[in-house]
Structure 1
């Protein structure tokens, strides 16, 4: 059975040792044993777990969502696929809300940007963007 020190595991996963310590601190990764000199020792399962965490982060899942998925993964026979899907569906719903808000912001910003003449030589004392953002009526 392969055993890795934290630096070796970090290198295999292309992350820093600090990242692995962060995952440990947040309960996502627990070293199974320590060497006689007290160094953390990790196994193949830990390598797989870190890669799972990294893929989950890459698709935008939070640490809490990843923690939930890891728990389900460890006790897969006690959970349903629907539970897993509910987590990803909730994330998709959050993203849709954020995208709608970003589209609203973009439309508003584009409207005031398009209204500005943007002449380089004009001073900004009558800039339509500044006026649109000011509290005072025009």
Structure 2
């Protein structure tokens, strides 16, 4: 029982670490996130310090990555996955839709893998069921 709890706790720690790593990616790329958002929204606009500061203020990233990450994790606990930096739309509907597609893809891949393994092993399983495998006889 203790091993299961420890394994579950370790998985939770890994999941939180992964989410934090993904959440910090905009800062780990060594490119200003405000600059990236500016280029995604309007490629022809000049990245002046005033424009970048305004984008940082609008997105709430002027407090730094730790402030943004803790705010996002706090919102996630309340069921708020946040808003897109580009469009401003809620992220949760898109994530839910993508999760459905991913689960469908995973299920189909599992089905294909199972059928392939079954076809590869069918002859051996059939001979084993009839006790005709070469070598020893029981």
Q: TM-score with structure 2 length normalisation?
A: 0.33
TM-score normalised by the chain length of structure 1: 0.33
Pick 1 or 2: higher relative contact order, CA cutoff 8 A, min separation 6. Answer: 1
